[in-house]
């Protein structure tokens, strides 16, 4: 999604670090996290060893795209000028049904309408030719 004219870009994620498989997955419309192949625990952000069983065996695997809003906050201060076009804006904490949590934004919902417990599904938002970020939207008709 391009920025409104005159605003600087929002902070871009780094694509070349340990989370590279996650960012590549978003390009292909999948949420990929590490799954420990010893105990099955799914984890994000990336780590060399499983925090549950300390195994170093893992695979980056896609998880389901649905989850629940656990909490949120609404920024009334534009720390990053790139957000000036959408003040105030909300940040949500989403817990995927498959385990890991993500901080993100809800697309198409006003901050005043966000409630913990709302059901959401992933939205893959392309920033440019290389970077895609993980956002969420409400699942229509799903009770909060």
Work out which of 1, 18, 55, 113 binds other proteins, going by CB under 8 A. 18
Site string for other proteins, 21-60 (x = CB under 8 A): ----------------------xxxx----x---------
Distance CA 92, CA 70 (A): 8
Show the tokens assigned to 100: 């890991």
DSSP 108: T
DSSP 128: S
Question: Are 105 and 80 within 8 A, CB to CB?
Answer: no
Distance CA 73, CA 84 (A): 16
110 binds other proteins (CB under 8 A): no
State the minimum distance, in angstroms, from the CB of residue 92 to other proteins. Answer: 9
Judged by the rule CB under 8 A, the positions of this chain that interact with other proteins are 10-14, 17-19, 43-46, 51, 70-77, 79-81, 83, 88-89, 91, 93, 100-101, 103-105, 111, 116-117, 133, 135
């Amino acid at each position: 999604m391009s920025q409104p004219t005159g605003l600087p870009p929002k902070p871009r994620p780094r694509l070349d670090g340990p989370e590279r498989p996650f960012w590549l997955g978003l390009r292909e419309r999948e949420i990929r996290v590490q799954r420990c192949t010893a105990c099955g625990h799914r984890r994000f952000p990336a780590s060399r060893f499983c925090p549950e069983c300390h195994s170093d065996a893992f695979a980056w695997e896609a998880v389901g795209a649905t989850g629940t809003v656990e909490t949120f906050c609404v920024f009334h201060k534009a720390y990053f000028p790139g957000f000036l076009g959408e003040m105030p804006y909300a940040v949500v904490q989403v817990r995927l049904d498959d385990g890991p949590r993500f901080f993100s934004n809800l697309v198409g919902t006003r901050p005043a309408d966000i409630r913990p417990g709302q059901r959401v599904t992933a939205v893959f938002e392309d920033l440019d030719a290389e970077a895609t970020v993980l956002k969420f939207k409400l699942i229509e008709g799903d009770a909060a």
